[in-house]
Chains A and B, each alone.
Chain A
């Protein structure tokens, strides 16, 4: 039967459930990404400490995810546009789980929204905190630079985070342990992608090598802070040595960036990321 008033009707067949425009799902109790999981903090663990650590891991993934998402429709070619968007999505998923874990461990962290707001705890954390409450590193918040700089940053980030997640897969908190074990598979894929591009650019043309070295040098001053925060250790160092050897690149001879806290880059990032959610604190997404 043709419905001349609705251009989409014929596309539906008999099942409108697959179509965003045709089906309004009932609001369910199952929206929680940790639905059904036992989020009791194991005895012997400090709930506030566990929450703070998960908040760091979640915030760092969220901010890195947002930076990578800025490449969507801007990457050098379609394949890498898709690759960076996929990596961004994996990290967004990790962020959602980790922020939900932080909120369950220490509900006091979650910003208070108007009475009756349907915004879940992890979204309240992502969209309704100010920059100074974010626990991500300066390493992930700085602007992207060019593709080579993004590759250099992604290599260092995924190498450090993978080393940490391999360790955290054995954490006493079963929720953090499960999130980490799952993330390991994703981060290994991200690291391989970044490492291959790192070597390709370093061994490519004069221009690609120049840009890779410039990008690597630009992100290096915050590498010490990154490795320390993730307690990345020798494993990550050995992987980096392997990539640098294949690329014929030395560790940049630049001093670590001093100071702490956040840079202005985070405020600008959050302004864009949070504006819609903040305009609609009663919104259902």
Chain B
């Protein structure tokens, strides 16, 4: 079982390939399906956002990589609890920074009703390239559902920030 988990955990995210599905917090479970001798496993993943278009690729990659390791895998989806950027591991955060992306801060506390935020989301974002804390938001939305766009006021490089949810 540990072997199958290790294979699933090493599959990377198609949009942010510096992150494994485990580091992204998308891999929820790997369990045996029937007797161990069948080498049949069920992998459970959860989408980051409802419309995440990478889910199909993640599923295909998991099935293919596990098949290469001798496992017949079936992939299931879990929606609850909803994915949180807090699930990105420390190793994942370091990998994001090493590749020029800014890692998310703590996710907002889930409280009902969610208060309206009329001012731009205040985040402590440091430039992943030069380390400057002088950064400015250019867009709350980016090239994928999970990212916002920032620019460094010192080195002037634009960069992506993984959003807190």
The reply to whether A83 and B14 form a contact with Cβ atoms under 8 Å apart is no
Q: How many A-B residue pairs have CB under 8 A?
A: 136
The reply to whether B51 and A93 form a contact with Cβ atoms under 8 Å apart is yes
Q: Mark A158-177, 1 if CB is under 8 A from B, else 0.
A: 00001100100100001101
The reply to whether B75 and A90 form a contact with Cβ atoms under 8 Å apart is no
B65 to chain A, nearest CB (A): 9
Given contacts A18-B57, A94-B51, 11 further A-B contacts (CB under 8 A): A17-B57, A17-B60, A30-B74, A33-B55, A86-B145, A90-B49, A96-B50, A166-B112, A174-B80, A189-B163, A195-B116
Chain B interface residue count, Cβ-Cβ cutoff 8 angstroms:
47
- A binding-site residues for B, Cβ under 8 Å: 17-18, 23, 25-26, 28-37, 79, 82-83, 85-87, 89-94, 96-97, 162-163, 166, 169, 174-175, 177-179, 181-186, 188-189, 191-193, 195-196, 199, 235, 239, 242-243, 246
The reply to whether B138 and A163 form a contact with Cβ atoms under 8 Å apart is no
- B binding-site residues for A, Cβ under 8 Å: 14, 17, 42, 44, 47, 49-53, 55-57, 59-61, 63-64, 74-83, 112-114, 116-121, 138-143, 145, 149, 163, 165
B11 to chain A, nearest CB (A): 10
Q: Which residues of B contact A183 (CB under 8 A)?
A: 50
Q: Which residues of B contact A179 (CB under 8 A)?
A: 50, 79
The reply to whether B79 and A96 form a contact with Cβ atoms under 8 Å apart is no
Among B53, B113, B119: residue with most chain A CB under 10 A: B113
The reply to whether B80 and A178 form a contact with Cβ atoms under 8 Å apart is yes
The reply to whether B49 and A37 form a contact with Cβ atoms under 8 Å apart is no
Q: Which residues of A contact B51 (CB under 8 A)?
A: 89-94, 96
Question: Which residue from B50, B75, B83, B141 sits with its C-beta under 8 Å from A30?
Answer: B75
Could you tell me the distance between the alpha carbons of A217 and B63 in the complex, rounded to whole angstroms? 52
A120 to chain B, nearest CB (A): 12
Question: Which residue from B42, B57, B119, B140 sits with its C-beta under 8 Å from A83?
Answer: B140
User: Nearest CB to that of B60 among chain A residues?
Assistant: A25
Could you tell me the distance between the alpha carbons of A214 and B89 in the complex, rounded to whole angstroms? 47
Contacts A166-B113, A183-B50; A30 near B80 (Cβ below 8 A): no
The reply to whether B114 and A162 form a contact with Cβ atoms under 8 Å apart is yes
B44 to chain A, nearest CB (A): 7
The reply to whether A182 and B79 form a contact with Cβ atoms under 8 Å apart is yes
Could you tell me the distance between the alpha carbons of A174 and B82 in the complex, rounded to whole angstroms? 13
User: Nearest CB to that of B82 among chain A residues?
Assistant: A182
